[in-house]
Chains A and B, each alone.
Chain A
Amino acid sequence: DGGITQSPKYLFRKEGQNVTLSCEQNLNHDAMYWYRQDPGQGLRLIYYSQIVNDFQKGDIAEGYSVSREKKESFPLTVTSAQKNPTAFYLCASTEGPGLADTQYFGPGTRLTVL
């Protein structure tokens, strides 16, 4: 079964702590993306990566960091510098490097900062 997995589904963190969200895909897709979704809002791009060992900032990268050491993995770290991290985080991938291609989304991680 091909797809994108994100873990954990729910995550609670204390203020001031860094936390890493996992995203793995077995679709052999080139590009991967992280979005943030707030209640009643659309999706905002945090970071994206078109190839291994390369990534670019999206619209709201401040307070976040990523790595792309393997094609199938694109973890996102929410640092303590992120002022309002409570949100729903979605990972996505596209077959080609173009972000405008069809996006395949993972199930998401709901992060709550206590």
Chain B
Amino acid sequence: GQQVMQIPQYQHVQEGEDFTTYCNSSTTLSNIQWYKQRPGGHPVFLIQLVKSGEVKKQKRLTFQFGEAKKNSSLHITATQTTDVGTYFCAVRQGAQKLVFGQGTRLTINP
């Protein structure tokens, strides 16, 4: 089945530093979704990428989908304490299943 590797598993930064998490697949993806889960909370949908090379921005967050549609990244510019949480990518497996990456847990030193 579809597997997706997400790195790094943990990332600790100083407030104001940038942060990037990567999602990699050995096979071509139809699309990729990103979710954020705050500590003690539930995952919340951030965005979906569909097109090869697609780049989408949400304020300080930049999402990219690779040209070969086998990888994706989420970049946060100038992190703030509100960015703390775990970021998950999720990819489609077949017609009916969504497979989540292991997540990247972001902690921030204020």
Contact = CB atoms under 8 A, between A and B. Distances in A.
A101 to B, nearest CB: 9
Contact of A98 (B33, B35, B45, B95): B95
B95 A103 contact: no
B22 interface: no
A43 B33 contact: no
Interface string B66-108: 0000000000000000000000101010011110111101000
A61 B94 CA distance: 18
A90 B42 contact: yes
Interface string A7-49: 0000000000000000000000000000000001111110010
Contact of B45 (A42, A50, A90, A103): A103
Interface stretch (A69-77, A79-87, A105-113): A105-113
B42 A106 contact: yes
Contacts, number: 52
Nearest to A33: B98
Most buried by A among B42, B88, B103, B105: B42
Interface of A: 40-45, 48, 50, 56, 58, 90, 98-100, 102-108
Interface of B: 6, 9, 30-31, 33, 35, 41-45, 48, 88, 90, 92, 95-98, 100-103, 105
Given A90-B43, A103-B90, A108-B41, 13 more contacts: A42-B6, A42-B101, A43-B43, A43-B88, A44-B100, A99-B97, A99-B98, A103-B33, A103-B35, A104-B45, A105-B42, A106-B42, A107-B41
Closest 5 CB pairs of A and B: A100-B92, A105-B42, A42-B100, A43-B100, A42-B102
